[in-house]
Amino acid sequence: MEKITAARGTELRCKGWRQEALLRMLENVLENGENQKELTVYAALAKAARDWNSYHAIVNTLKSLEEDETLVIQSGKPIGIMRTHKYAPIVVMANCNMIGQWATSDNFYKYQEQGLIVWGGLTAAAWQYIGSQGVIQGTYEIFQSIARMHFGGDLAGRFILTAGLGGMGGAQPLAATMAGAAILCVEVSEARIDKRIEVGYLQRKTSSLSEALEWIQEAAAKKESVSVGLLGNAADIYPELLRLGIQPDIVTDQTSAHDLLYGYIPSGFSPEEAAELRKSDPEKLQAASGASIAREVEAMLTFQKKGAVVFDNGNNIRTQAVKYGVKDAFNIVVFTEGFLRPLFARAIGPFRWVALSGDVEDIRKIDRLILEQFSDNEIAVNWIRLANKYVPVEGLPARIGWFGHGDRTKLALAVNEMVRSGELSGPIAFSRDHLDAGSMAHPNIMTENMKDGSDAIADWPLLNAMLNCSSMADLVAIHSGGGGYSGYMTSAGVTLVADGTADADLRLKTTLDNDTGLGVLRYADAGYDESLDEASQKGIRRIDTKQFQS
Ligand code: NAD
């Protein structure tokens, strides 16, 4: 089968740019994904569509869809077309939502086998994945925050140990070198190491631990940055480093530890051997993965006791470790609570935009606009300068930029004007990660240890999706966890198309203001001072029920 890539240029295959944009976003997700044949985009099992029939049906439908119609998608499969109106979303979707008591990984695997469900990850089935770049600024901001909190603001000369160079984890080496550190990335699949080198995210590779350590130590001594992919298993390498008395400064892991069957590869197995065992004895494979994770997390805890900054990078590794006997796994902090919460409390989060024509110059023009019009936004200016220099193009040219309430709208409206005036060569799609202030409940990742204890309340992402539909977004998605994330999370995603029209101005302003507005209110409701301040500074109309005491 021919490899699917996103269409480029300005010729439309659909009846309007809104439909064409969503079709290109779907194609782009597959173009950037890890295993196109299986429709797998990232995180082991996160897919773009239920199956190939569904994919082709979606493509066909988008091509004939009218502006006043809405395509309805259930777990990656198109269900029907509804007559709505031109301000309604072009696509609404609900992916992998199971009823509470049923939301287990075993049920998920069973439903998946029966062809009834697909896990969409966050951005895979919502057609918003933009390659490893999607998480690169988040990873960079984590490292910067650690630098400020623990290392006098600078990671030069520091050694970061991590694992996993997949669809998302592949961002780690580039984010670390951008932050000036020396990073060792343990990865069990040589093909994944090669892919990251090929796309320019990783610098060197070896299968020798001593060679890897030589490169790391040499760079750290000279205060130079370096990224090294080491072919090996994290469950072996982490304890081996302890045995050798090697102490990194920062330790994490971004393997697909959330999924014991399809994600994590246990010690003693190659990815191919694990795939065999998956078929012949899935329970044995899960037990072996659990035991290896336990060993790895024990080592992480020891690094922490010896003084390293250790954190969970959003892959449920601590939850798995507890299940397999590591009682104090939650002594490790999660990245959101540890390093990013003050940003999320102001609804500053992973906003992104994609040049639908495929012209990289469009992204560079938007970079320049940001440097001019957001010169007082330190995070944005610093990031755009770095990204412009270091982040390679993957698929349709795109950019991630952490912006907050008001700034997202200001940027999107300015970009829509650039589309209208012909300054850009085509429309731009805006979206964001589901891991954003108002759009995710994930008690072991996004919402762990919320100030008011509201960690597992899933009303927020549902409200977010309803509000974004009411606000005229072009695509709205509600996702819950699949595989090892089953029962652990609910999130919502949104996409908007800046096609230069006045209607797009209306959609962009209403949706983006309300999307981040709800984010600020979610944290304000939980009692965060930054959010209360943000709400009052920016005129977000919060209702304080305490004022109505009877
Ligand atoms: P992926 O499945 O594409 O890649 C995982 C990689 O880990 C693979 O290359 C695999 O070969 C490797 N691996 C598995 N077991 C290993 C082991 N024992 N030792 C060394 N390497 C091993 O997954 P991804 O998209 O990179 O995501 C990784 C994890 O991060 C997932 O759990 C995902 O849900 C999570 N995630 C977190 C964030 C965040 O915001 N922090 C964002 C996206 C994804």
CATH number at residue 150: 3.40.50.10730
Residue 533 CA to ligand 1 centre (angstroms): 36
Residue 220 counted as domain residue:
yes
Please tell me whether residue 48 adopts helix, strand or coil conformation. Answer: coil
Domain count, the chain: 1
Q: Which pLDDT value is given to residue 2?
A: 86
Residue 164 CA to ligand 1 centre (angstroms): 5
- Nearest protein CA to atom 37 of ligand 1, as residue: 314
Q: Reduce the secondary structure of 139-193 to three states and give it as a string.
A: HHHHHHHHHHHHCCCCCCCCEEEEECCCCCCCHHHHHHHHCCCEEEEEECCHHHH
How many Cα atoms sit within 13 Å of 9 on the Cβ side? 5
pLDDT tens for the chain, residues 1 to 550: 789 999 999 999 999 999 999 999 999 999 999 999 999 999 999 999 999 999 999 999 999 999 999 999 999 999 999 999 999 999 999 999 999 999 999 999 999 999 999 999 999 999 999 998 889 999 999 999 999 999 999 999 999 999 999 999 999 999 999 999 999 999 999 999 999 999 999 999 999 999 999 999 999 999 999 999 999 999 999 999 999 999 999 999 999 999 999 999 999 999 999 999 999 999 999 999 999 999 999 999 999 999 999 999 999 999 999 999 999 999 999 999 999 999 999 999 999 999 999 999 999 999 999 999 999 999 999 999 999 999 999 999 999 999 999 999 999 999 999 999 999 999 999 999 999 999 999 999 999 999 999 999 999 999 999 999 999 999 999 999 999 999 999 999 999 999 999 999 999 999 999 999 999 999 999 999 999 999 999 999 999 999 998 7
Please give the Cα distance from 482 to 478 (Å, whole number): 13
Residue 510 counted as domain residue:
no
Q: Tell me which residue of 194, 158, 196 sits closest to 176, measured CA to CA.
A: 158
* Atom number, ligand 1, closest to the C-alpha of residue 138: 40
Which of 255, 292, 324, 479 most suits a substitution to test ligand 1, by most atoms within 8 Å of the C-beta? 255
Which of 136, 161, 168 most suits a substitution to test ligand 1, by most atoms within 8 Å of the C-beta? 168
Dihedral, CA of residue 515, residue 58, residue 262 and residue 199, to nearest 10:
-80
Identify the DSSP state of 394: -
- Nearest protein CA to atom 38 of ligand 1, as residue: 314
CB atoms within 10 A of CB 510: 19
* Dihedral sign computed on CA atoms, order 234, 236, 239, 245: negative
297 Cβ neighbours under 8 A, 6+ residues apart: 317, 318, 321, 326, 329, 332
Please give the Cα distance from 93 to 482 (Å, whole number): 16
Residue 198 counted as domain residue:
yes
Q: Which pLDDT value is given to residue 396?
A: 98
Residue 255 CA to ligand 1 centre (angstroms): 3
Residue 46 counted as domain residue:
no
Please give the Cα distance from 57 to 47 (Å, whole number): 16
Q: Which pLDDT value is given to residue 272?
A: 97
pTM of the model: 0.96
Please give the Cα distance from 242 to 26 (Å, whole number): 44
Per the structure, the complete domain to which residue 214 belongs is given by 133-341
Q: Which pLDDT value is given to residue 270?
A: 97
352 Cβ neighbours under 8 A, 6+ residues apart: 128, 130, 134, 398, 399, 400, 401, 430, 431, 432, 433
Residue 315 CA to ligand 1 centre (angstroms): 7
- Nearest protein CA to atom 27 of ligand 1, as residue: 43
B/e letters for 2-13, b = 16+ CB within 10 Å, e = fewer, are eebbbbbeeeee
Residue 263 CA to ligand 1 centre (angstroms): 7
Whether residue 201 contacts residue 245, with contact meaning beta carbons closer than 8 Å, is answered with no
- Nearest protein CA to atom 43 of ligand 1, as residue: 168
- Nearest protein CA to atom 40 of ligand 1, as residue: 314
Residue 75 CA to ligand 1 centre (angstroms): 22
- Nearest protein CA to atom 14 of ligand 1, as residue: 264
| Per-residue CA distances from 7 to 399, 432, 547 (Å) | 18, 21, 54
The backbone torsions φ and ψ at residue 32, rounded to the nearest 5 degrees and listed phi first, read -90, -10
Element of type H or E holding 47: strand 46-47
Residue 188 counted as domain residue:
yes
* Atom number, ligand 1, closest to the C-alpha of residue 237: 19
Residue 52 CA to ligand 1 centre (angstroms): 24
The set of protein residues with a Cβ atom below 6 angstroms from ligand 1 is: 34, 42-44, 135, 138, 163-169, 186-189, 192, 233-235, 254-258, 263-265, 271, 292, 313-315, 435
Identify the DSSP state of 498: E
Q: Which pLDDT value is given to residue 297?
A: 98
Please give the Cα distance from 515 to 48 (Å, whole number): 24
Residue 370 counted as domain residue:
no
- Nearest protein CA to atom 9 of ligand 1, as residue: 166
Residue 503 counted as domain residue:
no
Residue 254 CA to ligand 1 centre (angstroms): 5
The backbone torsions φ and ψ at residue 353, rounded to the nearest 5 degrees and listed phi first, read -145, 150
- Nearest protein CA to atom 28 of ligand 1, as residue: 256
Whether residue 246 contacts residue 306, with contact meaning beta carbons closer than 8 Å, is answered with no
Element of type H or E holding 322: helix 317-323
DSSP string for 50-97? SSHHHHHHHHHHHHH--TTEEEEEETTEEEEEEE--TTS-SEEEEES-
Residue 313 CA to ligand 1 centre (angstroms): 10
Which of 136, 143, 256 most suits a substitution to test ligand 1, by most atoms within 8 Å of the C-beta? 256
Whether residue 415 contacts residue 498, with contact meaning beta carbons closer than 8 Å, is answered with yes
Please give the Cα distance from 112 to 278 (Å, whole number): 15
| Per-residue CA distances from 282 to 44, 109, 179, 286 (Å) | 16, 11, 40, 6
